[in-house]
Amino acid sequence: MTDQIVAFTYLSIVASVAGLATILVRSPVHSALSLVVVVFHVAGMFVLLGNGFLAAVQVIVYAGAIVVLFLFTMMLLDLRRHETERTVHRRQIWLAIPIAVLLFAEVAWIAISKPEISENLKGAFPPQTIDELGGSAQALATVMFTDYLLPFEVASVLLLAAAIGAMVLARNPDEESLASPPDMIEDAAGTDGSSDQPEGELSETPATHG
């Protein structure tokens, strides 16, 4: 049991320090890298909680996708030249720190004073059941595709919408013609008269300028 305590102590201290670094460092790149450290250590805690699958997803999605997305954006925007400016909201910091401390005090109070979990509240997935099912991935799958099928589907729709939305937002409207496939450029530039045709005939494009 002591090894668990050691592991937890290590994970919690490093996660907290990395979290502090995330919000204090000057450069956004360093901040993102600190977030990666936090993500890895929280994933470690998921392992301690016996949920290996979640740890893997956490690492893959956060470290592999989201933080990479951040780094890509930073590269695209070239933020280096502003790094000399003030990084902190000078006026608001004197309000922000007390509020954050207060918030922490309250949440921590709840976290510490919460009574132990009684037996009758417990769900259907004690560790033995999870082991019998073959692991946390199988256990999660059994609920995800039964009880939570609708939220799961909605989440997938959300992802699709976000993907399309991101593409629409990030597209450069000035370079629209470059983004089009070559034959459409020809269509737009070549036959001016085609715009006069009624809507119904637009679908038969290949025949008109073949």
Partner 1 sequence: MSIPLNAYLLVGAILFSLGTLGVLMRRSVLIVFISIELMLQGVNLTFAAYGAFLEDMAGSMFVVISLTVAAAEAAVGLAILVALGRRVTEFYVDRLDTLRW
Partner 2 sequence: MTDFPWLIPLFPLVAFAINGAFGPRYLKKATGVIGSAGILGAFAATVALWIGGVHSDTPDFTLYRWVSSGSFSIDIGFVLDPLTVVMLLVVTGVSFLVHVYSIGYMAHDESFARFFTWLPLFVFAMIMLVLSNNFLSLYVFWELVGVCSYLLIGFWHQRKSAADAAVKAFLVNRIGDFGFAIGIILIFWNFGSLNYGDVFASVSDKSPDLMLLIALLLFIGAVGKSAQFPLHIWLPDAMEGPTPVSALIHAATMVTAGVYMVARMRPIFEVSNEALLVVGGIGAFTALFAASIGLAQTDIKRVLAYSTVSQLGLMFLALGAGAYTVAIFHLATHAFFKALLFLGSGSVIHAMQNQQEMSEYGGLWRRMKWTYFTFLLGGLALSGVFPLAGFWSKDELLASAFFKGVASDGSWAFTVFWIMGLLASLLTAVYTFRMIILTFHGKPRNAELHSHSHESPISMVAPLVVLAAGAVALGGAVGFPPEHGFIHDYLYKVPGVFHFAGAGEITAVISLAIISTAVAAFGIVAAYAVYSRRQPSPEAVAALSPRVYGLLYRKYYVDEIVNYGIVGVTKGIGLILWAIDAKIVDGIVNLIGWTVRATSSLTRRVQTGQVQNYLFLIAAGAVVSVGAFVIFR
Interface with partner 2 (CB under 8 A) = 89, 92, 95-96, 99-100, 102-103, 106-107, 109-110, 200
Report the C-alpha gap between 52 and 97 in whole angstroms: 35
Least distance in angstroms from the C-beta of 136 to partner 1? 7
CB distance 4 to 65 below 8 Å: no
Nearer to partner 1, 151 or 190 (CB): 151
CB atoms closer than 10 angstroms to residue 140: 18
Contacts of 102 (CB under 8 A, 6+ apart): none
Per CB under 8 A, the segment of 18-26, 179-187, 192-200, 202-210 that binds partner 1 is: 18-26
- Please tell me whether residue 135 binds partner 1 under the rule CB under 8 A: no
Binder among 10, 16, 184, 209 for partner 1 (CB under 8 A): 16
| Closest distance of CB 23 from partner 2, Å | 13
Shortest distance, position 184 Cβ to partner 1, whole Å: 23
Question: Can residue 180 be called a binding residue for partner 1 (CB under 8 A)?
Answer: no
Q: What track of x and - describes contact with partner 1 for positions 38 through 77 (by CB under 8 A)? A: xx--x--xx-xxxx-xx--xx--xx--xx--xx-xxx-xx
- Establish if 120 lies at the interface with partner 1 (CB under 8 A): no
SS3 annotation, 132-180: HHCCHHHHHHHHHCCCCHHHHHHHHHHHHHHHHHHHHHHCCHHHHHHHC
- Nearer Cβ to partner 1 (102/184): 102
* CA R_g for the chain: 26
Residue 42 near residue 15, CB atoms below 8 Å: yes
Nearer to partner 1 among residue 148 and residue 208 (C-beta): 148
What backbone phi and psi angles, to 5 degrees, belong to 194? -65, -25
Q: With CB cut-offs between 5 and 8 Å by kind, which of partner 1, partner 2, none does residue 75 bind?
A: none
95 vs 184, which CB is nearer to partner 1? 95
CA dihedral 144, 150, 153, 158 (to 10 degrees): -120
Residue 157: contacted member of partner 1, partner 2, none (CB under 5 to 8 Å, by partner type): none
Alpha-carbon gap, residue 123 to 100, rounded angstroms: 34
Q: DSSP string covering 29-62, please?
A: HHHHHHHHHHHHHHHHHHHHTT-HHHHHHHIIII
CB of 115 to partner 2, least distance (A): 12
